[in-house]
Structure 1
Amino acid sequence: MSVLSVRLKAAVTALVVVTAGAAVPAPAFGVERDRGYSALIRRASYGVPHITAGTFADLGFGVGFAQAEDNICVIAENTVTVSGERSRWFGAADANVRSDLFHRKAIDERVAERLLEGPRDGVRSPSGDVRDQVRGFVAGYNHFLRRTGVQNLTDPACRGKGWVRPMTETDVWRTTWASMVRAGSRSLLDGIVAAAPPAAAKTVETVEVPDAAAVVASLDGAGSGIGSNAYGLGAQATGNGSGMVLANPHFPWQGSERFYRMHLRVPGRYDVEGASLIGDPIIEIGHNRTLAWSHTVSTARRFVWYRLSLVPGDPTSYYVDGVPERMRSRAVTVETGAGPVSRTFYDTRYGPMVVVPGTFDWTAATAYAITDVNATNNRALDGWLRMGQARDVRQLKAVLDRHQFLPWVNVIAADARGEALYGDHSVVPRVTADLAAACIPASFQPLYAAGGQAVLDGSRSDCALTRAPGAAVPGILGPSELPVRFRDDYVTNSNDSHWLANPAAPLEGFPRILGRERAQRSLRTRLGIDQVEQRLAGTDGLPGRGFTTARLWDVTFGNRVYGAELVRDDLVALCRRQPTATTTNGVTLDLTAACDALAGFNLRVDLDSRGAHLFTEFALAGGIRFADAFVVTDAVRTPRRLDTDNPGVRTALADAVQKLDGIPLDAAWGDIHTDSRGDRRIPIHGGRGEAGVFNVITNALVPGVGYPQVTHGSSFVMAVELGPHGPSGRQILTYSQSTNPNSPWYADQTLLYSGKGWDTVKYTEEQITADPNLRTYRITATGGD
């Protein structure tokens, strides 16, 4: 058996071409057919599909076909993952085996199938519209695969591979469930797989003690590897008095969490432009004619712990109200290239057992289970569908109240009337102040106060999560218990909590599990607010006051390094006073060249910025240490002075210089900060959030080389204005539409991003038909095709 370690870290075939390069009127579709599908696809510049269909099933068909054209390998690999077959096809490495065991357990328990049971009202189970769209998506994907053939795929990543197979609707529902639990049980996947009673843990496997900080950190619960910025701008902030939205999610540049741009339309029922994650049939960030929205990763926790008091001599039984209760066990086996691997999982009335050695251990007396409130979230696709049908932020709020579906994100929106909305209206365990006081043991109260992680007493039934008034399902905070703010000036979020969505109207008094209030904000949050306030005052060096989409684009890609704005001058002065320092590993360095490089740094991460990498590594080494205190009444401006008396500041600078050995300290950012497309290295602007950069780009340092490959950061960026003549503005998908190196849309938007360029919003017929690169075709499939 493999060692199960706990590392809690987280040419188009079969087309009937209608016309090319010219507009085609929207088709007049009839009622949905029992057999067969039809959709019109208009490919605009950068390969963005505008898909029109007469039913949601036909719309899904068009989406599945288009996404398969561009990203079939991504979808196929994700299907392998949620089918629990990674170790069969991609090798029996521990990570693959653990993933397979986790997903096979869900398959054996029929999790996806059970989420489809119940009335099709979009709350208790998915609606008919959403089921139709999923069914159509599967048909479209399979139609492309069948007509093209695995051997003829143009993407070498999966051409001719045995793991590329037709999809089923169950595959899509499994993928959706995996997305829902990303910040919950999936983030604890390794701990769930490794959980075993004490005797079994010694005899069945070796458990490696992890860095448990990822799970029990004092910070709040925003997911690692993902983040975002967003602005909702109201009438008082825009040039024409209508609403405007900036969408700037920071997501992976590779893998299944890439976004995909598209415009979907069912005449009279649905008309939305924006982006979804690859493999999802519905738009998750975007706009319709009068409403636009985005999401940012929320700080709220998605699960609670339950401490179990075990029955003496039986570590798989626990007490509830003094009565013993046995855990449910399930043996799961996965097939690997090295033979079968089996594991026994344990579940309780609260949910699966989890271990985090050294923090949440399974001993003879005590063990821990979790309740993941997204594990039964089957409402998300309906929620996003209905969001796209809302006409303004008040209707959007009604959708949020009814469906309560956002798994781990905030929503930021604005409408054509000039009203903006912020809400952490996500799925959050219902840990009220009263429940926390009564049910979190004293030893775990500091953990809850510091990081919002609730460890409840599992020996008492009255510590179970209860149903809130108006809540969509039991166990989650209800609409009236969640922070929401309407404004006519602006709202914003950059992955801090709800507290300062607008500093003029702080959101306070909400359950601690949602995030910290009256506490220091990140540098990125502070910069995000500062950018809006300067733009409204006209003090940012750009023309005029207030926002147009052009000014919003300029602000987003202004690439200010807020940490450097605050401390660079003090750092240079310190460096010149004391030009030598010792690294963490005891090497004494001359910092004279570093002093000069920092002095010449223009405080931005533009392609021509010099010294940006030195300040970045200084920040990553923990060098930004403040001398002054955070002031709750001046939260955007404090703290702001470098603690030059702290020896850790000079050590961090020395560590940065040592780490950059072999790279000129005054190198231009664009020469060393790139992304690869084949043999081409594309210069990439933007930088690390830890340094206080708004336009986040995370790119790991390769010693002596630079930063050659972006891992995550700004992805789908949209600056949209909801004017009287319809939406307009700018947008881009930074890593481009396709993962296929043989696609014309593999690098085009990345090159565009490199030059701070953009594609225009194309929503109205006039905007679409004006595109000089428009190519139109219809795809059809009969029932037997």
Structure 2
Amino acid sequence: MNSNTLLIPLLLFGSVACQADYSSIQSNNKQDDSKLKAKITRTEFGIAHVTAHDLRSLAFGSGYAQAQDHACVLADSYLRVRGERAKYLGADLHRAGDNRHVMSDYLFKIADIHQQAKLAFPHLSEDTQAAAEGFAAGFNLYLAEVEEGKASLEPTCQGQNWVQPITAIDVLANIAAAGSGASLGQFATAILQAHPGQANEWLPSAAKPVSLTAPLAAVPSADTLVTQGSNAWAIGGALSDDGKGLLMANPHFPMTGQMRFWAYHANIPGQLDVMGASLLGFPAAVNIGFNRNIAWSHTYSASTQSVIYRLTLDATDPLKYVVDGETKQIAVKDVSIEVLSDSGEIYRLHKPVYKAEGGMLVEIPKVLEWSEQHAYVLKNTNINSFAAIDHWLALNKAQTLAEFQQTFKDHNGLMFNNVIYTDKDGQTFYIDAANVPDLPPIALQYLNDNAQAKQYFAKFRVPVLPGDSAAYYYQQSVPYEAKPKLTRTDYVQNANDSYWLANASAPIAKVSPLYGQHSVLQSRRTRHSLAKVSHPVGADNKFSADEVATILLSNTALITPIIDDVIAACKQGWQRKTITIDEQSIALAPSCAALQKWDGHFNQTSIAAHLVREFVARVNDREDFEVSFDARDPVNTPRNIRIDEALFKELAIAGEIIRHAGFTLEASLGELQFFEQHGQRFAWQGNMNVEGGLNVFATQNRLDQTIFAPVATPSVTTPYNNRPLWSGLSQRGYELHFGSSWMMVVDFEQTGVKAQGLLTYSQSQHPDAENSNDQTRHYSEQNKLVTLPFKAADIATTQISTTVIKQ
């Protein structure tokens, strides 16, 4: 579409990027004389290859192409970060009285991310401004085509008045929101409840009498976002079959919502040529990917990016506090949101919010209370951090390890990520690049010595420190030189435990406790990852790319020796016994017989894999083994399951769980485990965390913060105590919502870089798109990665369509 046909429809929206009410930045938003122009080539499975002459046009193309695939999710994300859901959608999300939209809007208004993005924008780099402006223009172009009838939206948002053109500020704020999402989610209710009063004064009040769907006291507590995860390997020349680097990327992320990945190839001839996948809404750059010389992936860091400070209040005024003898004022601001009522009227709600020392006050009843003596303030390094675009662009452009490392000295924009890197020279590199507060020595000592501080840190994974002395306050994030990192030629890896064992042969020395625990029991997934990456499977005792891909998709698990030992005990007599639980006698023979049919995998055809899952979920790694954890042998301990009646009681309960859910013990995993999308149910292979596999999925998805987030079917309860199952097993089976998303293996061959990959939930959320379920079906039916067309000849061979957009 040319600029003339674009002009009139955009004016109808009345709020395009160059016309939005951001007068303070309009001069910076003006485009230069060059035209926005991008070529979007779609190859097999809808992968978008965007070519442009400059960064602004590249972002223009990526914004347009993402809107083709995910316009509704993106529109909702921008509505959310502006704090306007209740204005257009009313107070509630799922049911009357849940007040989810009210809570969401207040969180973003209190965090003030959108306003801070607006204030910061004129001072950001030209690259960040160009990327944000270009992406917004591309998104808006697609909406204009929808208005003209030349394109369509998904049914979930078609015709909705909240689907609106966006600005560069929206793009920037949405990225910042992703970086601070974990902290906002964990402390959502604590942020809302902070108030010097002792009753319900924290609740919002209406400007005039208002009839909402339910009292605002029903604002719920947000769940801690605990499902984040990922695996990544970087295999160096010492262990690869050709002496060059190998990368395995396996981020575990939501299968729906605003944190889905999107497969993408970015090309500015002579400047940038990189391919991989990015989170929705990220402009221009690739988040996890490769270029001709390097490849990298990310995992979610075990670190914390937040600190809570205990303020000592002035005895005469609960809105004043004392630091080093100086009295300071707690800032009070009236924050309002608009709410659509059942009658269609818009009402404004008001609420005072409180800030101090650059953070938000929080209150947790009976734990961190705003009393006459103390109040608590939450500070987070990612809120109002707008360095992400610059940092990822620098990663994309790097061609050597030295250049890659330099990006961490120049930028601190990777928010919550570990980074795993390799290159064509066979080097590997690990760094926890999360934006971690650089606590002063006195604060670290307090955290180590004070009993209550240690208790809070164990409970919240966030330190609670004295706020009455400036000596305890951090002034910056941990600099590059002090971040945990490791360079090797054999391998580095991470599976969401801390930095300690990036390489089991070269443990990283202990650093700040805010980076996670050191010398402690590792997760089953980490131990399985370390066992696999340190022992090549080839006859040459080296790894090939195909062997790495096979390991990723083999769906084996650390817990296999446990089952082998239990089967041996069954054969030695336990299978003839019964277990009595609550006066019910349960024969062990059926469970023992089913276990013997398990093939050691979690594939669709694996018999009794569900029984194995429910059983090993009940095994305690700290108590149920003959050999306990030993920090000197962290990969192989604990080991040797203790064979006794208590263990077989857990097996009996696992069998009863399966029967209670309505399944047989000898069913195949494919009968129970599935992913459902666009009305189609796909049988699904893969592990869960508890088994210690790599290709991991889960039934819960607490990271999908969109209004479209599917509600998981309630799990059955455990017989004998009526508690919901950790696995989420319901009478429908294992209904998956989270897990392996963008899977990728990269190899630097003599002829150039070669990559395989797959987006398990497919490229497009538009139900009418050809690419809405194709990769999903491929994974379900073939369990293989596909070749990624990076070279020009491969793109030409697999090309499906080419679109040129300009403005």
TM-score normalised by the chain length of structure 1:
0.87
Q: 1:767 to 1:204 in 2, by over 3 A?
A: closer
Contact 1:433 1:511 in 2 (8 A): no
Q: 1:622 to 1:404 in 2, by over 3 A?
A: same
- Pairing partner for 2:118 from 107, 113, 121: 113
Q: 1:202 to 1:83 in 2, by over 3 A?
A: closer
Query: What pairs up with 1:701-712 in 2 under 5 angstroms?
Result: 703=716, 705-707=731-733, 709-712=735-738
Give the Å deviation of 1:204.
4.2
- For the pair 1:100 / 2:71, whether they are aligned, the reply is no
- The answer for the alignment partner of 1:66 in structure 2 is 65
Letter in 1 for 2:524: L
Letter in 2 for 1:563: I
Residues 283-319 of structure 1 show CA distances to partners (whole Å, capped at 9, x for unaligned) of: 1100111000000000111011101112225322221
Q: 1:340 to 1:499 in 2, by over 3 A?
A: same
- Pairing partner for 1:461 from 466, 470, 475: 470
Contact 1:676 1:708 in 2 (8 A): no
Query: What pairs up with 1:718-757 in 2 under 5 angstroms?
Result: 718-754=744-780, 755-757=782-784
Q: 1:108 to 1:332 in 2, by over 3 A?
A: farther
- The answer for the alignment partner of 1:599 in structure 2 is 596
Cα distance in 1 between the residues matched to 2:247 and 2:745: 6
Which stretch has the larger CA shift, 488-497 or 595-604?
A: 595-604
Letter in 1 for 2:428: A
- For the pair 1:270 / 2:272, whether they are aligned, the reply is yes
- The answer for the alignment partner of 1:553 in structure 2 is 549
Cα distance in 1 between the residues matched to 2:543 and 2:335: 56
Letter in 2 for 1:48: I
Residues 467-525 of structure 1 show CA distances to partners (whole Å, capped at 9, x for unaligned) of: xxxxxxxx211111111111101000000000110011100131111111111111000
- For the pair 1:347 / 2:374, whether they are aligned, the reply is no
- The answer for the alignment partner of 2:687 in structure 1 is 687
Residues 587-614 of structure 1 show CA distances to partners (whole Å, capped at 9, x for unaligned) of: 6544432222222212211110011112
- The answer for the alignment partner of 2:261 in structure 1 is 259
Give the Å deviation of 1:443.
3.5
Contact 2:304 2:514 in 1 (8 A): yes
Cα distance in 2 between the residues matched to 1:709 and 1:165: 33
- Pairing partner for 1:231 from 233, 237, 242: 233
Contact 1:675 1:710 in 2 (8 A): yes
- For the pair 1:192 / 2:191, whether they are aligned, the reply is yes
- The answer for the alignment partner of 2:668 in structure 1 is 668
Give the Å deviation of 1:543.
5.5
Contact 2:309 2:378 in 1 (8 A): yes
Residues 402-424 of structure 1 show CA distances to partners (whole Å, capped at 9, x for unaligned) of: 10221001000001111000111
Letter in 2 for 1:343: K
Q: 1:581 to 1:12 in 2, by over 3 A?
A: farther
- For the pair 1:132 / 2:127, whether they are aligned, the reply is no
Residues 90-145 of structure 1 show CA distances to partners (whole Å, capped at 9, x for unaligned) of: 44132221110011234498211223253xxxxxx3x2122112111111111111
- The answer for the alignment partner of 1:298 in structure 2 is 301
Q: 1:485 to 1:448 in 2, by over 3 A?
A: farther
Residues 54-95 of structure 1 show CA distances to partners (whole Å, capped at 9, x for unaligned) of: 011110111011111111111111111111122233441322
Cα distance in 2 between the residues matched to 1:609 and 1:362: 54
Percentage identity across paired residues of the two chains: 29
Say how many residue pairs are matched.
725
Give the Å deviation of 1:279.
1.2
Which stretch has the larger CA shift, 544-553 or 302-311?
A: 544-553
Task: Identify unmatched segments of 5+ residues in structure 1.
Answer: 1-10, 17-31, 119-124, 216-222, 467-474
- The answer for the alignment partner of 2:249 in structure 1 is 247
Q: 1:582 to 1:342 in 2, by over 3 A?
A: farther
Contact 2:277 2:288 in 1 (8 A): yes
Q: 1:268 to 1:736 in 2, by over 3 A?
A: same
Residues 527-583 of structure 1 show CA distances to partners (whole Å, capped at 9, x for unaligned) of: 001111232xx3xxx665322211111000110121233345337736636432427
SS in 1 for 2:181: coil
- Pairing partner for 1:396 from 382, 389, 404: 404
Contact 2:576 2:589 in 1 (8 A): no
Q: 1:268 to 1:444 in 2, by over 3 A?
A: farther
Q: 1:508 to 1:108 in 2, by over 3 A?
A: closer
Query: What pairs up with 1:450-529 in 2 under 5 angstroms?
Result: 450=458, 453-466=462-475, 475-529=476-530
Which stretch has the larger CA shift, 420-429 or 706-715?
A: 706-715
Residues 167-211 of structure 1 show CA distances to partners (whole Å, capped at 9, x for unaligned) of: 111111110110121233443222111211133545748878999
Cα distance in 1 between the residues matched to 2:752 and 2:349: 57
Q: 1:108 to 1:710 in 2, by over 3 A?
A: closer
- For the pair 1:325 / 2:328, whether they are aligned, the reply is yes
- The answer for the alignment partner of 2:54 in structure 1 is 55
- What RMSD over aligned residues (CA atoms) do the two structures have, in Å? 2.8
- The answer for the alignment partner of 1:364 in structure 2 is 372
Contact 1:101 1:334 in 2 (8 A): yes
Letter in 2 for 1:332: V
Q: 1:303 to 1:15 in 2, by over 3 A?
A: same
Contact 1:392 1:414 in 2 (8 A): no
Cα distance in 1 between the residues matched to 2:657 and 2:555: 26
- Pairing partner for 1:375 from 375, 383, 390: 383
Letter in 1 for 2:141: H
Cα distance in 1 between the residues matched to 2:36 and 2:2: 17
Give the Å deviation of 1:638.
0.2
Q: 1:209 to 1:691 in 2, by over 3 A?
A: farther
Cα distance in 1 between the residues matched to 2:308 and 2:218: 21
Which stretch has the larger CA shift, 351-360 or 144-153?
A: 144-153
- Pairing partner for 2:610 from 610, 613, 616: 613
Give the Å deviation of 1:659.
5.2
Which stretch has the larger CA shift, 445-454 or 427-436?
A: 445-454
Contact 1:332 1:342 in 2 (8 A): yes
- For the pair 1:442 / 2:454, whether they are aligned, the reply is no
Contact 1:233 1:245 in 2 (8 A): yes
Contact 2:321 2:330 in 1 (8 A): yes
Cα distance in 2 between the residues matched to 1:458 and 1:780: 54
SS in 2 for 1:61: helix
TM-score normalised by the chain length of structure 2:
0.85
Letter in 1 for 2:505: A
Cα distance in 2 between the residues matched to 1:572 and 1:489: 37
Contact 2:553 2:784 in 1 (8 A): no
Cα distance in 2 between the residues matched to 1:568 and 1:162: 59
Give the Å deviation of 1:775.
1.9
Q: 1:169 to 1:416 in 2, by over 3 A?
A: same
Give the Å deviation of 1:445.
3.7
Give the Å deviation of 1:650.
2.1
Give the Å deviation of 1:768.
1.4
Letter in 1 for 2:748: L
- The answer for the alignment partner of 2:534 in structure 1 is 533
Residues 245-273 of structure 1 show CA distances to partners (whole Å, capped at 9, x for unaligned) of: 11100000010000000100111111110
Task: Identify unmatched segments of 5+ residues in structure 2.
Answer: 7-30, 93-98, 205-215, 342-346, 701-712, 717-729
- The answer for the alignment partner of 2:727 in structure 1 is none
Which stretch has the larger CA shift, 586-595 or 283-292?
A: 586-595
Cα distance in 1 between the residues matched to 2:83 and 2:192: 13
Cα distance in 2 between the residues matched to 1:353 and 1:441: 25
Cα distance in 1 between the residues matched to 2:626 and 2:455: 26
Cα distance in 2 between the residues matched to 1:765 and 1:85: 44
SS in 1 for 2:277: strand
SS in 2 for 1:369: strand
Give the Å deviation of 1:44.
0.4
